[in-house]
Amino acid sequence: MPTIYYIRHGQTEWNALGRLQGVQDIPLNELGRTQSVHAGHILADLFKRDGESTSSISFVASPLGRARQTMELVRGVLRLPLSGYAIDDRLREIGYGEWEGSTLAEMQAKDPDLFARRQAEKWTVAPPGGETYVVVQARVADWRRGLTADTVVAAHGGTLRALMVVLGLETPESAADLPIEQGVVMCSVTAG
């Protein structure tokens, strides 16, 4: 089965402020750009370790700008054309609906009952106008079924949580609260 080299996008100002971005198109900040370049160097080392050639690997990103910026910075480190990658909407971040742009404290103050329910059941409870992780898991599973080659992905923490469940590496309960740093590179040989 294909290997997935998954990169969570670098930091944005909203990440730094603790604001949920969801599908809002917030660009990388200076630290985020540095993290993305560092991820490119890690990826180059992984390719060397695994005997990979960039010519045999697919590259795909979420359509959101922070993931695309991350991918382009990574490709620059690898000395590849910046635009030589696919975009797949199934890799976009979980939609937080009305909660986008808010901090956890602001959401809790606005609707303490829904906030408490969502904290207890993150995989199945959606914010108003948002998505559940169940929905994200379904679209990520659909994307993964189509993999035919080793692939570098630049996307989001929410889609990585869903992918870990799809691959059987985590349960919905454990993945829901899994901390995932910006600019991290995860490598997984996918399960059958």
- Give the residues across from 60 on adjacent strands: 86, 153
173 labelled catalytic? no
98 labelled catalytic? no
DSSP at 28: B
* Cross-sheet strand order for the sheet of 185-189: 86-87, 58-61, 151-155, 3-8, 185-189
For 76, other C-beta atoms within 10 Å of its C-beta total 14
44, 35, 45: which is closest to 77 by C-alpha?
A: 44
Distance CA 67, CA 155 (A): 5
Of 93, 100, 131, 156, which is the active-site residue?
93
- Give the residues across from 5 on adjacent strands: 152, 187
For 92, other C-beta atoms within 10 Å of its C-beta total 22
- Exposure class string for 29-55: b at 16+ Cβ within 10 A, else e: bebbbebbbbbbebbbeebeeeebeee
Q: Which residues are catalytic?
A: 9, 93
